[in-house]
Amino acid sequence: MATSQIGWYGLGSMGLAMASNLQRHLAATKALSLVYSNRTLSRGDALQKLGGVPEQSFGDVVKKASIIFTMVSNDSVLESLITNTINSGTPLAQKIFIDCSTVHPDTISSISAQLSAHKASFLCAPVFGGNPVATAGKLVFALAGSTPDVRASIVKPLIQDIMGRKVIDCGSDPSKSSLLKIAGNIVTVSLMETVGEAQVFAEKTGLGTDAMEDLITEAFGPIAGGYSKRLTTGAYAPPLDTRPGFGVSLSIKDANHALNIAQDKGVDLPSVELAHKNMSAARDYGGECLDSSSMYGILRQKAGLAFWNEKSRQGGK
């Protein structure tokens, strides 16, 4: 597939890091350069410096590429991209779409059916790991859709050791990898809530957040340690003119997907409900420019501390 034109849409916190790694690989293997687009096209300037080729719109990327990756915020953005492309009349036969965003399994099934009616393939490849992991090319991918041969021979070689350290094959039904991603986020948001609680406890008891962070990292691993760092470095509430590592609204969306599926299946998710409540309260207080770990600010307030800590921004929304 070295001669296939590959396209990319979505250059947010995750997409830019992932697309940059893919472009580096394409350049190193002398393959065709990535064609890319983004709502805010200037976000791709660094990618262009790596050899990526900007296009004005998703439609232009689809026209030029035979394999198209998407990495966008949520279900409605992905749905509108695909619907507009189908309605544009661009021939889609034999094209391969791979979405890496976190969206509901029903959205994935619907998009897959629409694209397959136009003889295009659709694979769902959501990722585990934040921006630093994406930058390092060490994400964990859950991959599902199309045939075992397309997954193993075409898609996995564009991911393994380029954007990700591991590809979990979830079979031919694309909604299955979406479901695994949503299930994984039950652990993610609950762990963030727990780390936040422990750090507020450490501060209020005089134990100190440094000792707590050492313990969390050593005893519970680098993921939990990374969540603690988001708090102690103030990244849970970054400056207003920056993009959070994992925006609070994206995490609320993920928690909503988990809660809706759980309700349908009669499963109780009290930890997710609590994290959802605290993330929503954080967003009401501090606005959109907050990280998913910003439930910490609410936990601080409940303990009589300020929402902001000494390293975070000091107000505004």
Ligand X SMILES: NC(=O)c1ccc[n+]([C@@H]2O[C@H](COP(=O)([O-])OP(=O)(O)OC[C@H]3O[C@@H](n4cnc5c(N)ncnc54)[C@H](OP(=O)(O)O)[C@@H]3O)[C@@H](O)[C@H]2O)c1
Binding site for ligand X (CB under 6 A): 10-15, 38-40, 43, 71-74, 77, 101-102, 127, 130-131, 243, 245-247, 250, 254
CB of 245 to ligand X, least distance (A): 6
Beta bridge partner(s), residue 8: 36, 69
- For residues 12 and 114, give the distance between their C-alpha atoms in angstroms, rounded to a whole number: 26
CB of 4 to ligand X, least distance (A): 23
Q: Assign 141 to helix, strand or coil.
A: strand
The C-alpha R_g of the chain, in whole angstroms, comes to 20
Judge contact between 127 and 103, C-beta under 8 A.
no
DSSP-derived pairing of the beta strands 139-143 and 127-128: antiparallel
**CB-based contacts of 114, cutoff 8 Å, min separation 6:** 82, 83, 86
**CB-based contacts of 168, cutoff 8 Å, min separation 6:** 140, 141, 142, 143, 177, 180
- For residues 283 and 252, give the distance between their C-alpha atoms in angstroms, rounded to a whole number: 10
Judge contact between 100 and 18, C-beta under 8 A.
yes
Q: Catalytic residue, from 95, 176, 181, 229: name it.
A: 181
272: Cα separation from own chain's centroid: 18
DSSP-derived pairing of the beta strands 96-99 and 67-70: parallel
Q: Which is nearer to ligand X, 243 or 277 (CB)?
A: 243
Q: Which is nearer to ligand X, 203 or 292 (CB)?
A: 292
**CB-based contacts of 275, cutoff 8 Å, min separation 6:** 189, 190, 192, 193, 255, 295
CB of 62 to ligand X, least distance (A): 14
Q: Which is nearer to ligand X, 121 or 188 (CB)?
A: 188
Q: Which is nearer to ligand X, 11 or 216 (CB)?
A: 11
- For residues 228 and 236, give the distance between their C-alpha atoms in angstroms, rounded to a whole number: 10
* Region of 215 on the Ramachandran plot (φ > 0 left; ψ -120 to 50 alpha; else beta): alpha
Q: Which is nearer to ligand X, 126 or 297 (CB)?
A: 126
- For residues 176 and 124, give the distance between their C-alpha atoms in angstroms, rounded to a whole number: 8
CB of 272 to ligand X, least distance (A): 15
CB of 212 to ligand X, least distance (A): 23
Closest residue to ligand X using C-beta atoms: 12
Q: Which is nearer to ligand X, 135 or 301 (CB)?
A: 135
176 noted as active-site residue: no
Q: Which is nearer to ligand X, 76 or 153 (CB)?
A: 76
What positions carry a catalytic annotation?
A: 181
